[in-house]
Structures are given as C-alpha cells and as structure tokens.
Amino acid sequence: MTDILGIPFTVWGPSTLLALVILMLLWGKLWTDKAYQEKKEEARIWRAACEASEKARAEAFEQNKVMFEQAKATHAVVVAMFGVVQKRQSGGTEHVLPLAQG
C-alpha cells in the first residue's frame, strides 16, 4: 500500500497522517488491542450464555414431556375414580377393572 485514497504517502504530511489515524480511531475503523480483547471476551461470554440458555431450554422441554405424560396418567385415574363414585351414588356398582365374564 503506497497511497491513501489514491494520493501517495509522500504528499501527506506527518500531521495529516496523524489526523487520519485519529479520525479512523474515532470512526471505529481502527481498534486498540485492549478494545479488541474486551470485545472478544464479551463475545465469548455471550456465546457461553447462549449455549447455557439452549441447554436449559432443551432440559425444560424434556421435563415438560415427562410432566405431560404424568398428567395424562393422573387424568385417567381421576376419571376412572370419578366414574366409580358416580355409579355408586346412583345406586349401581361399578368396578374400575371389568369383571371377568364366564
């Protein structure tokens, strides 16, 4: 690179080059090593947080599946018990398990 914006280095004076570097720093085109390392560490922290969040979401999904299956089983038991109570209150006899025919 022997020129800046199509103009050779020899035409630019030291103060102009310094002003250009300062402007590039202010515009965010040049970063100090400290700022770069801070951004790199921040990105690492956010990446770890995202991975932990995804892992927690997957675990919550699995727990919800288990709880849903338990709710279905509990619902079946409650419905069966409610049916027995309703039959007994109406004077009939009902068993949860069907009686053997024969």
For residue 88, give every residue at least 6 positions away whose Cβ sits within 8 Å of its Cβ, in sequence order, or none. 94
User: Structure pTM?
Assistant: 0.47
Measure the CA dihedral 4/34/40/26, to 10°: -40
**What pLDDT, on the 0 to 100 scale, is given for residue 91?**
65
Is the domain of 16 the same as that of 64?
A: no
For residue 48, give every residue at least 6 positions away whose Cβ sits within 8 Å of its Cβ, in sequence order, or none. none
Tens digit of pLDDT for each residue in 42-90?
999 999 999 999 999 999 999 999 999 998 888 888 888 877 776 766 7
Domain count, the chain: 2
Is the domain of 59 the same as that of 23?
A: no
Is the domain of 55 the same as that of 22?
A: no
pLDDT reading at 41 higher than 80: yes
> Does residue 101 lie in a domain region?
no
